[in-house]
């Protein structure tokens, strides 16, 4: 007889829940922790400056119908960012200027056993009452992500850049939606109708739709070749927009994450986002002990503007960086040495976030990009790890499948083999699993 599991697990103990009067939206995404069935859940909540009372935690819901599980977690506030990258002289305070937005990041760890239909979500009240394009019969804010880990683990595709909180009138605007996926899945980004809760979408006012969520003569468009969204606003106001990033593996959806946000349109000149030079690579491989340099070049569509490049690595290693702004272009470089003691099983990859920003005024053009760096042994094909049968540098529940596939095969024996978690040389067998980077 099936049982419904309903638990409330507290990641960290806090006494104040998130409270909001005017939310501008948010997003939710996840990554595999590298241990058991544990996933790290991140919830980002957007709010116009001065319009929100923030608490130290919020709730995350995780549900699977197929596995008959319904679990709630408490996520703690770990970071607060005031989005001022776009302003020439952003000032030091928040005030009540709706052109500033604050991004609050909440975090917890969730136990997500293999299921094919996880829905990970968070919601709160209320949306800004001045939004023009949706009906206010219901006004909750809701964020959702999907996970199918029934066959293998999955990590959300990452879009570092913020959505366009603010655009000028009567001029085409682009906003980068460049994404990276640690599992090398195929990623598709599209507009969606924003949700009010898990089963209800918000209703558009007459004249608005998924592809026309703002007052415009040009439908909002996603340029898949340049990884950006394009829009044209012809009327001032606040509008609510929805977007979904979906991951496909062998033709099957293994995950998606939604972001929903309030876009404000007003009559002010804005700089255009710097774009990476054609052929720019954002995916790299580094080996233990290797010193590596990555140089990125960006172009600006306004030839009189300069582009400044800065870096924000996701770890605390030692890095050296440089930037070379020039008229209509700019470049930046980052150099580091990957620790020789690093265990690729514990750190299979890391991110380097890149901010490209122009000196246009009064509103800069800016965009965040993400470099994905996978880690590997000096020569991963020559070494094995005890218990790792499928060459993904992790000993977990998926290795018995590889053992079953290779059952009865024989080959060279490791000299002095141990059960210690350390790389040990072994010549390849006639048949073997290629390393998973």
| pLDDT tens-place string over residues 191-220 | 999 988 888 888 899 999 998 999 888 888
Q: Are 42 and 105 in contact (CB under 8 A)?
A: yes
Residues in the chain: 437
Lowest mean pLDDT among 65-69, 178-182, 233-237: 233-237
- pLDDT of residue 5 exceeding 50: no
* Max mean pLDDT range (122-126, 142-146, 324-328): 142-146
Predicted local confidence at residue 96, as pLDDT? 47
Whether the predicted model's global pTM rises above the 0.75 cut: yes
Task: Give me the chain's average pLDDT, please.
Answer: 84
CA dihedral 131, 190, 37, 17 (to 10 degrees): -10
Predicted local confidence at residue 11, as pLDDT? 38
Lowest mean pLDDT among 187-191, 258-262, 415-419: 415-419
Q: For residue 399, report the phi and psi dihedrals to the nearest 5 degrees.
A: -70, -35
Average pLDDT over every residue of 162-185: 90
Whole-number Cα distances in Å, 187 to 179, 229, 282, 394: 8, 15, 15, 24
Predicted local confidence at residue 14, as pLDDT? 31
Predicted local confidence at residue 138, as pLDDT? 55
- pLDDT of residue 341 exceeding 80: yes
Q: Which of 306, 300, 301 is nearest to 323 (CA)?
A: 306
Three-state DSSP class for residue 63: strand
- pLDDT of residue 406 exceeding 50: yes
- pLDDT of residue 433 exceeding 90: no
């Amino acid at each position: 007889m099936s049982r419904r599991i309903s638990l409330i697990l507290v990641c960290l103990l806090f006494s104040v829940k998130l409270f909001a009067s005017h939310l501008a939206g948010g997003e939710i995404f996840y990554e595999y922790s590298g241990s058991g069935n544990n996933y790290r859940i991140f919830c980002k909540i957007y709010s116009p400056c001065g319009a929100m009372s923030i608490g130290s935690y919020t709730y995350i819901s995780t549900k699977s119908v197929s596995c008959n599980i319904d679990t709630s977690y408490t996520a703690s506030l770990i970071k607060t960012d005031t989005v001022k990258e776009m302003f020439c002289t952003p000032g030091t305070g928040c005030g009540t200027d709706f052109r500033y937005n604050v991004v609050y990041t909440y975090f917890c760890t969730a136990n997500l056993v293999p299921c094919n239909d996880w829905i990970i979500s968070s919601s709160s009240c209320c949306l800004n009452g001045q939004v023009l394009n949706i009906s206010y019969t219901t006004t909750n804010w809701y964020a959702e992500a999907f996970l199918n880990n029934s066959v293998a683990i999955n990590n959300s595709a990452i879009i570092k850049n913020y959505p366009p909180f603010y655009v000028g009138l009567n001029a085409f605007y682009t906003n980068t939606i460049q994404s990276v996926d640690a599992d090398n899945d195929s990623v598709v980004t599209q507009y969606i109708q924003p949700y009010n809760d898990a089963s209800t979408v918000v209703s558009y006012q007459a004249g608005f739709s998924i592809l026309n969520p703002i007052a415009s003569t040009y439908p909002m468009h996603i340029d898949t070749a340049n990884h950006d969204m394009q829009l044209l606003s012809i009327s001032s106001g606040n509008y609510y927009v929805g977007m979904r990033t979906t991951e496909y593996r062998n033709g099957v959806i293994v995950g998606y994450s939604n972001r929903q946000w309030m876009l404000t349109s007003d009559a002010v000149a804005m700089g255009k986002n710097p774009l990476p030079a054609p052929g720019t690579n954002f995916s790299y491989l580094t080996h233990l002990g290797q010193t590596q340099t990555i140089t990125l070049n960006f172009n600006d569509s306004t030839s009189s503007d300069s582009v400044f490049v800065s870096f924000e690595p996701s770890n605390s290693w030692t890095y050296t960086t440089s930037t070379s702004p020039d008229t209509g272009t700019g470049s930046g470089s980052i150099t580091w040495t990957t620790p020789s003691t690093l265990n690729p099983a514990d750190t299979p990859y890391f991110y380097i976030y890149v901010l490209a920003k122009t000196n246009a005024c009064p509103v800069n053009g800016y965009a965040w990009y993400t470099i994905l760096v996978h880690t590997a042994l000096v020569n991963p094909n020559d070494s094995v790890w005890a218990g790792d049968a499928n060459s993904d540098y992790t000993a977990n529940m998926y290795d018995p499948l590889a053992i079953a596939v290779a059952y009865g095969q024989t080959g060279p024996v490791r000299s002095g083999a141990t059960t210690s978690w350390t790389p040990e040389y072994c010549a390849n067998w006639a048949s073997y699993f290629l390393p998973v980077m």
